[in-house]
Amino acid sequence: MYADHEHEDRPLHYPESFPAAIAALRDRLPAIANGDARSAAEAADIAGWMPELAADSDATEAEWTPLAAGSRELAVLLPRVAVGEAEALERANATLDRLAAVVSEIGEEEFEVTPHEPHDHGDDHDR
């Protein structure tokens, strides 16, 4: 019963998948660079959720590692974008490009999350 309700309290800007998180951050970057505090706060949330979104996918640990690293990099860059650092904006866009390339290489279908099924993350913790 709990599993049916576990995601009800997530904010509206919670992305449905890792690729959706990339798209959401791309959409928000221009507004963040222009000083939009709400977009910056939502983007910080999204970057923080990205490792969880990657873990909820069917990506293996080896595939997950660069996704998590890129997510952490974004979490550091986004506040710098918010204060107008042009270099940080360029690096954030490059990081998003790199993450999108990894997703493409893995295959976007691996990131389609079925909400109530267990996922094999390539380790033995589910056994």
What is the average pLDDT score of the chain? 87
Residue (of 46, 43, 60) closest to 16 by Cα position: 46
Residue (of 65, 75, 60) closest to 25 by Cα position: 75
pLDDT at residue number 7:
58
pLDDT at residue number 115:
56
Residue (of 81, 8, 70, 6) closest to 43 by Cα position: 81
How do residues 69-94 score in pLDDT, each as one tens digit?
999 999 999 999 999 999 999 999 99
Quote the tokens at residue 109.
């279908």
pLDDT at residue number 95:
98
How do residues 49-62 score in pLDDT, each as one tens digit?
999 999 888 888 89
**Taking a C-beta distance cutoff of 8 angstroms, is the pair 84, 31 a contact?**
no
Q: What is the mean pLDDT of residues 110-122?
A: 59
Position 119 confidence tier, pLDDT thresholds 50, 70, 90: very low
Position 124 confidence tier, pLDDT thresholds 50, 70, 90: very low
The pTM (predicted TM-score) of the whole model is 0.82
**Taking a C-beta distance cutoff of 8 angstroms, is the pair 21, 113 a contact?**
no
pLDDT at residue number 56:
87
H/E run at residue 99:
helix 86-106
